[in-house]
């Protein structure tokens, strides 16, 4: 596996002089492609700061952050914006959907802004992404017309819009009831298992540790490995079983892979995407197809 994310000797300080406080203390941490990593920790432990720095939304006081082979601490804001739009996905506790956009428009917008997709390609892909999260029939609804769980699933579809290398999630179930939380958690696990999507999630929710490929724990700005894990709740287990057996979701994923392949061909022909980058994407698509076939 290759590292999608690396933090090297990362420190984060707030304040100055005698009042300076270290929120992160010499963090060395990496996430490999295909991992679903959950970061646990109490309030004030530094986990939100860790996520902000890992996702390029904040800069460390000392140390370096790498997305793939790129040292993002050396990039300017314009370069960071371009990298975020094409390589990173974000899901927040409060959804952060655009209120006067429909579900379809919320998912389509990142693709149009990235320049990776034509309008018809973006719309087609957005509909498939909404199918993937079980909300295709709600494509024309505005956020105010959706439940909290539905809004969070739209946010997940939006985060996947540009096929990111890693999706960052900040307390993705924090505002959800138990059943909605189970749906979101099961969806994340399915995307990781079948699609091979890489996730880094910070949370208080112990149920998320049960779907993780790896769990780390942070306290007082220090990162620890191998925190304790609890048993998966029966409700979450039932929902995960249902989502794994969903033919609709498998079909949607195959259609997404198809539109991605079509986009890659167009971008190569138009000279927008270098051939070596397109070939890497083709490898990812083939791997995803094989995983889907194994679940059939």
The domain that holds 51 is classified in CATH as 3.40.50.300
Helix or strand run (H / E) with residue 224: strand 222-225
Instruction: List C-alpha distances in Å: 86 to 79, 103, 167, 236.
Output: 11, 20, 11, 32
In a domain, 131, yes or no: yes
In a domain, 69, yes or no: no
In a domain, 45, yes or no: yes
DSSP letter for 272, please: S
What's the domain range around 175? 32-61+76-294
User: Is the distance from CB of 155 to CB of 183 less than 8 angstroms?
Assistant: no
Strand partners, 168: 90, 200
User: Is the distance from CB of 121 to CB of 263 less than 8 angstroms?
Assistant: yes
Q: How confident is residue 17, by pLDDT bands cut at 50, 70 and 90?
A: confident
In a domain, 95, yes or no: yes
Q: How confident is residue 267, by pLDDT bands cut at 50, 70 and 90?
A: confident
In a domain, 226, yes or no: yes
In a domain, 97, yes or no: yes
User: Is the distance from CB of 34 to CB of 192 less than 8 angstroms?
Assistant: yes
Q: Are strands 214-219 and 36-40 parallel, antiparallel or unpaired?
A: parallel
Least Cα distance to 183 among 247, 237, 229 occurs for: 237
In a domain, 71, yes or no: no
Per-residue pLDDT at 28: 96
Q: Is the pLDDT of residue 1 over 80?
A: no
Give the model confidence (pLDDT) of 174-207 as tens digits.
889 888 999 999 999 999 998 899 999 999 888 8
DSSP letter for 273, please: S
* Helices and strands (H and E) in the chain: how many: 9, 10
Q: What is the pTM of this model?
A: 0.84
Helix or strand run (H / E) with residue 249: helix 247-269
Residue 141 dihedral angles phi and psi, to the nearest 5°: -85, 150
3-state secondary structure 157-202: HHHCCCCCCEEEEECCCCCCCHHHHHHHHHHHHHHHHHHCCCEEEE
Give dist(CA 148, CA 154) in Å, integer: 10
Give the model confidence (pLDDT) of 221-250 as tens digits.
999 886 545 444 566 677 777 777 777 777
DSSP letter for 232, please: P
Residue 64: CA count within 13 A, CB half-sphere: 11
In a domain, 272, yes or no: yes
Give dist(CA 243, CA 12) in Å, integer: 39
How many domains are contained in the chain?
A: 1
């Amino acid at each position: 596996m290759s590292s999608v994310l690396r933090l090297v000797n990362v420190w984060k300080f707030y304040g100055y002089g005698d009042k300076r406080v270290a929120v992160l203390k010499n963090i060395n941490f990496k996430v490999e492609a295909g991992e679903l990593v959950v970061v646990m920790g109490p309030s004030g432990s530094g986990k939100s700061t860790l996520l902000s720095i890992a996702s390029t939304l904040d800069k460390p006081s000392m140390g370096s952050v790498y997305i793939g082979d790129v040292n993002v601490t050396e990039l300017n804001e314009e370069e960071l914006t371009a990298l975020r739009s094409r390589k990173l996905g974000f899901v927040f506790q409060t959804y952060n959907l655009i209120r006067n956009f429909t579900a379809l428009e919320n998912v389509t917008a990142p693709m149009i802004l990235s320049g990776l997709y034509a309008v018809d390609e973006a719309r087609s892909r957005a509909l498939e992404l909404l199918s993937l999260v079980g909300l295709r029939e709600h494509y024309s609804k505005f956020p105010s017309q959706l439940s909290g769980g539905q809004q969070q699933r739209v946010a997940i579809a939006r985060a996947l819009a540009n096929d990111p290398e890693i999706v960052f999630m900040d307390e993705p179930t924090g505002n959800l009831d138990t059943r909605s939380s189970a749906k979101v958690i099961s969806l994340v696990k399915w995307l990781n298992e079948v699609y091979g999507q890489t996730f880094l999630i910070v949370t208080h929710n112990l149920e998320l540790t049960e779907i993780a490929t790896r769990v780390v724990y942070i306290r007082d700005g220090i990162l620890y490995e191998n925190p304790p894990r609890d048993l998966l709740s029966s409700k979450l287990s039932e929902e995960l079983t249902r989502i794994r057996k969903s033919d609709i979701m498998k079909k949607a994923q195959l259609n997404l892979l198809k539109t991605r392949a079509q986009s890659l061909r167009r971008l190569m022909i138009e000279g927008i995407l270098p051939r070596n980058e397109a070939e890497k994407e083709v490898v990812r698509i083939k791997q995803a197809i094989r995983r889907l076939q194994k679940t059939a």
